[in-house]
């Protein structure tokens, strides 16, 4: 068996050292470019909460249509009962909105740890859409309260002038559509964020 020359050993050792150094450098670079764990956790939890809000608010549209029919038929008792049920559901959504707000706050605090300007901008757009969703959810809740007040006045025989149930139902449906749209915008912004991060 031929012996390996000293020069060959030196070259091999040099190559190994270079390879190890390169690997360490890539690892350090990957660590420095990594998305903060706080941001990742908050975006994941926030997306789950947002989907719950969207699903629950969407489910109210059929009930709203029935409430409008009850009102047109003069069946204020059933209209009131259905609206009261929606408001109870809305209380749960308000709790979800608080949780979503907390996740958005966590995402915002972690923004400084995102190194890419483009990725940070996409994250900001997602955060803005989540905040707009929360704002629309507040409008949704307020409009449900307004619907209940109108139906209560009709049930008591003292209807409010110039206020129609159909108009309020239309506004609530507009709120629901806006909630859907802002959730879709947030999702799209986070998809862009992921695309930027994965392309590094």
Q: What is the DSSP-derived secondary structure letter of residue 34?
A: S
- Interval 99-120 mean pLDDT: 92
pTM of the predicted model as reported, rounded to 2 decimal places? 0.79
Residue 51 has, within 13 A of its CA and on its CB side, a CA count of 7
Torsion sign over Cα 90, 95, 99, 105: positive
The first and second tokens of residue 185, run together, are: 């915008």
Tell me: the pLDDT tens digits for 158-182?
776 667 899 999 999 999 999 999 9
Residue ranges per structural domain of the chain = 1-33, 36-198
What kind of fold does domain 36-198 have according to CATH? 1.20.120
The first and second tokens of residue 145, run together, are: 């309260």
């Amino acid at each position: 068996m031929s012996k390996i020359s000293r020069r060959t050993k030196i070259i091999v050792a040099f190559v190994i050292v270079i390879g190890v150094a390169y690997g360490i450098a890539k690892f350090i670079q990957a660590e420095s470019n990594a998305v903060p764990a706080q941001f990742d956790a908050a975006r994941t939890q926030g997306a789950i909460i947002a989907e719950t809000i969207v699903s629950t608010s969407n489910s109210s549209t059929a009930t709203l249509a029935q409430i409008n029919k009850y009102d047109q038929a003069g069946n204020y008792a059933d209209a009131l009962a259905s609206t009261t049920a929606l408001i109870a559901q809305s209380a749960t959504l308000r709790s979800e909105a608080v949780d979503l707000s907390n996740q958005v706050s966590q995402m915002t605090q972690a923004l400084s740890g995102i190194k890419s300007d483009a990725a940070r901008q996409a994250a900001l757009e997602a955060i803005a859409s989540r905040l707009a969703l929360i704002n629309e959810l507040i409008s949704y809740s307020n409009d449900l309260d307004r619907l209940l007040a109108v139906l209560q006045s009709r049930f008591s025989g003292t209807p409010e002038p110039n206020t129609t149930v159909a108009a309020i139902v239309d506004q609530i449906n507009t709120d629901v559509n806006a909630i859907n749209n802002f959730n879709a915008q947030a999702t799209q912004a986070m998809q862009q964020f992921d695309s930027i991060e994965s392309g590094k």
